[in-house]
Amino acid sequence: MGKAVPERVLTNKDLEALVDTSDEWITTRTGIKQRYIADPDTAASDLGYLAAVQALANAQVRADDIDLLIVATTTPDMPFPATACIIQERLNAKNAAAFDVAAACSGFMYGIEIGRAMLAAGYQKVLVVGVDVISRLIDYEDRSTCVLFGDGAGAAVLGSVEPGFGFIASEIGADGSGAMLLHVPAGGSRIPAQAKSLEAKQHYVKMCGREVYKFAVQIICDSTERVLRKAGVAVDTIRWFVPHQANVRIIEAAAQRLQIAADRIYVNVDRYGNTSAASVPIALAELAQAGLVEDGDLVLMVGFGAGLTWGSALLRWGGFER
Ligand code: ACO
């Protein structure tokens, strides 16, 4: 695992100077205290590259041993080429096929599901990067969205592990009927960039917060239960529950319904805000780097986001080839 965030920290106090909000409102409604914001020269590939380099070093894998590079992002450097190709070139991962996946905050979960399938199909080492410079899509005059998000990247190297370790069960899913609950209206082929769309602020995130909240709690529970059932594993055997870090209230509500004890839930949304596709891999990278996850531990990751999309994966940590 690897991770990278920009240097600049934007605190709740800083936001108080930008919009009509308060540290108290943000903390009680979301659990977020600060987030990292990329400077104007930093694009998704810059953060994604840093996370990828760290993941390769931690996995002791050389860039030219990667045969597939998947980048999950909704904030690519540009519409094309794929950000995966830009990162591939910087890593000199010359033996890797490279493409992007757009599944918003579920992007990393989609990426590892595809990566797993490609490993089963014969690929040897898959690098999955989840990265978003989501601040580029945020209107810092809109208090209902600007307090929630932050920039970052996380990365994972997938490969074969010893028997008894690795992925046990997983799923990805989508419900396009909720597509407009969380979207950016312009910047694509429907409404290309033009003076009118800029003036109307159509290049920014539009969100129905309450509906997304309800969806999030429900889907975390449903998807987790389906994956546990598929794996034949009881919820109290999970050592680390690693949910998408959007809002601590969402995490707590889902955990309460699923009856997962607080000391088994990894939460870092207070420090990063919602980093979209980077959220789950940053959390997992932190767990690994802090030595909090041990060989044999069961780890359950759940992502959800725009689309609407979701994805979950249960794995037994460890058994890595060195
Ligand atoms: N500061 C102060 N007041 C605010 C702020 C703010 N930053 N934002 C909204 N308010 C106000 C609203 O205007 C509203 O005022 P009103 O009652 O006078 O109209 C009041 O606070 C309550 O607003 P609600 O929207 O009802 O607040 P809620 O408790 O639902 O919390 C929140 C809002 C935090 C956005 C919540 O709905 C949420 O977390 N939703 C999920 C969002 C999410 O996770 N999105 C990302 C999904 S992942 C992806 O793919 C990107």
Whether residue 94 lies inside any domain: the answer is yes
How remote is the CA of residue 209 from the centroid of ligand 1, in Å? Answer: 5
Our CA dihedral for 316, 319, 320, 322, rounded to 10 degrees, sits at 170
The residue type found at 100 is: D
- Examine the fold and report which residue of 159, 182, 214 is the final residue of a domain before the chain moves on: 159
Q: Quote the DSSP letter at residue 54.
A: H
Residue type, 121: A
Q: Evaluate whether residue 111 is within a structural domain.
A: yes
From 141, 159, 177, the end of a domain falls on 159
The minimum-distance atom of ligand 1 relative to the CA of 307 is: 50
> Rg (Cα) of the chain, in Å, rounded?
19
CA 80–ligand 1 middle distance (angstroms): 33
Q: Which residues line ligand 1 (CB under 6 A)?
A: 21, 25-26, 29-30, 104-105, 143-144, 147, 182, 207, 209-210, 212-213, 216, 246-247, 274, 276, 305-306
- Residue 100 belongs to domain spanning: 2-159
pLDDT for res 322 = 65
pTM of the model: 0.96
Which of 159, 194, 223 is at the close of a domain? 159
**CA 153/CA 275 separation, integer angstroms:** 8
Same domain (yes/no): 91, 209: no
CA–CA separation, 56 and 70 (whole Å): 14
71: in domain: yes
Q: Ligand 1 centre from 116 Cα, in Å?
A: 36
Residue identifier of the C-alpha nearest atom 23 of ligand 1:
144
For residues 151 and 282, membership in a common domain is answered with no
Residues 209 and 305 in one domain: yes
Would you name the residues annotated as active-site residues? Answer: 105, 244, 274
* 321 inside domain: no
Task: Based on the fold, state whether residues 189 and 303 are members of the same structural domain.
Answer: yes
Look at residue 224 and tell me if it is in a domain.
Answer: yes
Whether 322 is covered by a domain: the verdict is no
The ligand 1 atom nearest the CA atom of 144: 8
Going by alpha carbons, the residue nearest to atom 29 of ligand 1 is: 29
Which residue(s) pair with 174 in the sheet? 309
Asked whether residue 59 falls in the same domain as residue 78, the answer is: yes
Q: For ligand 1, atom 13, which residue shows the shortest CA distance?
A: 144
**Probe ligand 1: pick from 13, 26, 29, max atoms within 8 Å of CB?**
29
Residues 201, 93 share a domain: no
Same domain membership, residue 174 and residue 302: yes
| Contact assessment for residue 177 and residue 314, using Cβ atoms and an 8 Å cutoff | no
Q: Which long-range contacts (CB under 8 A, 24 or more apart) does 225-232 make?
A: 225/258, 226/171, 226/312, 227/169, 227/170, 227/171, 227/300, 227/312, 227/313, 227/314, 228/169, 228/300, 228/314, 230/169, 230/171, 231/168, 231/169, 231/314
User: Is 170 in the same domain as 120?
Assistant: no
Read off the CATH number of the domain in which 207 is found.
3.40.47.10
Structure tokens at 313: 């994966």
Ligand 1 center to residue 164 CA distance, Å?
43
Answer yes or no: do 176 and 306 share one domain: yes
Does residue 19 lie in a domain region? yes
Are residues 83 and 25 part of one domain?
A: yes
Q: Is 305 in a helix, a strand, or coil?
A: strand
**Domain count of the fold of the chain:** 2
Whole-number Å distance, alpha carbon 77 to ligand 1 midpoint, is 29
Largest CA distance in the chain: 58
Predicted local distance difference test score (pLDDT) of residue 65: 98
Please give the structure tokens belonging to residue 272.
Answer: 């990063």
Contacts of 15 (CB under 8 A, 6+ apart): 21, 26, 143, 146, 147
pLDDT tens string 236-249: 999 999 999 999 99
Query: Rounded CA gap, 68 and 204, in Å?
Result: 32
In a domain, 85, yes or no: yes
Are 285 and 2 in contact, with CB atoms under 8 Å apart? yes
Domain check: are 181 and 149 in the same one? no
Which of 109, 144, 148 best tests ligand 1's pocket when mutated (most atoms within 8 Å of CB)?
144
Low-confidence ranges of the chain (pLDDT < 70): 322
151 and 299: one domain? no
Q: Phi/psi class of residue 98: alpha, beta or left (left: φ > 0; alpha: ψ in -120 to 50)? A: beta
Interhelix angle 279-289/44-59, rounded to 10 degrees, is 30
